[in-house]
Structure 1
Amino acid sequence: MKQALTLTDTQYRNVINFCTTRKHTLRDQTIIHVSFLAGLRAVELAALTVGDVYDDRGAVRSQFTLSSTQTKGAHTRTVYISTKLKRVLKQYRTVLNTRTSTQPLFMTQMHTSFSANTMCQLFLQIYKDFGLRGASSHSGRRTFITKLANTGINVRLLAALAGHRHISTTQRYIDVNDEQLANAVELL
């Protein structure tokens, strides 16, 4: 099966900007950001609750733990929240005023929780409407892993951040392109 498209920084910014044309602008932008800045899968995004991401006072956590029921591999893992993602989540908090800590972080337009499938469909619809071919709910995750790998982050750290039990799985996510190859030989 063909792998999901890894987006460039420009494509990522343009998709975020495109979300301003959508009915649920802030929700859609936040979903895209969490995918790209934390590397979460659609099933994990759909399973997030308000209390996973925000503490009792409504402040964004520095990290949170996905339970085994929230992950694809049925193994708990810690998700670390960057400064950039904290800013995004702080802004998103404004739409969560009446939700309790056990309610879904992201809700459909029918005010129900997303399933993994409906979350995947949301990504596909956004990318299709934007005109981006080959992108899917996994594009943010692949981009997250590839960008970190390009900065020289050790593959074992990447595997831990991605929630992979084997580095061979993580290595399949790392996209290689001509610019990276040219930069690599310049290191000699």
Structure 2
Amino acid sequence: MVNKEFVKDSKLKDILAYIKGINHSEQIRMMFFCSLNGLRCINFRCLQVKDVFNADGTAKDVIDLSCDKNKGKFSAKYYINNQFRRELENYFKYLTTKYGEKLDGNTYLFTSQKQNKPFNRVSICRIFSTIYQKFGIHGASHLGRHMFITKMINNGINPFLVKQLVNHRNIQTTQRYYNTNPVQLLNAVETARI
């Protein structure tokens, strides 16, 4: 089922501000940024330092994932914009503080408190849906991906580029993710005036 929820940027900023005040805020905020930048939960839940960061702690230009960290039997590439890069590099500082000398390329970015292993997908979806519900939004970890696709297409990015950016196999999948809203529909009919 494709989520048709429309979330304004101002509400997303409120959500990110709310996250700052909850337990494990650094991990949860970074997971939200991953989702809002088009990554699937299955992709970001098992990210390791070596997937995202160069040896000096700077974020790579592209997160290049092997098929074991992606849906299906295919590799995936996620391109990093400047805002996401800043968030990632701030998160690296958090990881450095958290792990100290134990931090290495195999360290997972997101770990559960009890087992120090990657979160499972159900736990991540529960975290996302609980936070979204507090703001009257029906959604989970995949909602950010929908918003990423919608924002790109609304900003005039070629849908075939968007398809590649989100690692879809065909354009029809990308089209199903695109969400319209009442304001867009009203603006569209206004263009048909005589």
User: CA separation in 2, counterparts of 1:4 and 1:18?
Assistant: 23
Aligned to 1:127: 132
Kindly indicate whether the alpha-carbon contact (under 8 Å) linking 1:19 and 1:25 is maintained by their aligned counterparts in 2: yes
Cα deviation per residue 1:78-116 (whole Å; 9 max; x = unaligned)?
A: 110000001111111112113211121111222321122
3-state SS of paired residue (1:64): strand
Q: Which residue of 2 aligns with 1:149?
A: 153
5+ long unaligned stretches in structure 1: none
Deviation at 1:166, TM superposition (A): 0.5
Q: Which amino acid aligns with 2:117?
A: T
Structure 2: runs of 5+ lacking an equivalent: none
| Shift in Å, 1:182 | 3.4
> What's the secondary structure of 1:28's corresponding residue?
helix
Structure 2 distance, partners of 1:6, 1:40, is 18
* Contact 1:39–1:162, Cα closer than 8 Å, also in 2: yes
Q: Give the match for residue 168 of structure 2.
A: 164
Counterpart of 1:41, as a letter, is R
- TM value normalised by structure 2: 0.88
- In the TM superposition, structure 1's runs of 4+ consecutive aligned residues that sit over 3 Å from their partners are 182-188
Indicate conservation of the 8 Å contact 1:30/1:88, yes or no. yes
Deviation at 1:58, TM superposition (A): 1.2
Task: Determine the C-alpha separation between the residues in 2 that align with 1:180 and 1:32.
Answer: 25
Q: CA deviation at 1:117?
A: 2.1
Instruction: Decide whether aligned partners of structure 1 residues 187 and 56 sit closer, same or farther in structure 2, where only a CA change above 3 A counts.
Output: farther
The 8 Å contact of residues 6 and 139 in structure 1, kept in 2 or not, is answered as: no
1:178, distance to aligned residue in structure 2 (A): 2.1
Structure 1 length normalisation: TM-score? Answer: 0.91
Aligned to 1:89: 88
Which is higher, the Rg of structure 1 or of structure 2?
Answer: 2
The CA deviation at 1:33 is 1.2
Question: What is the rounded CA distance, in whole Å, between the counterparts of 2:45 and 2:167 in structure 1?
Answer: 16
1:41 aligns with 2:40: yes
Cα-to-partner distance string for 1:126-163 (whole Å, 9 max, x where unaligned): 223x2333121111000000000101111111110111
Asked if 1:3 is matched to 2:8, the reply is no
Residues paired across the two proteins, number: 186
Identity within the alignment, %: 32
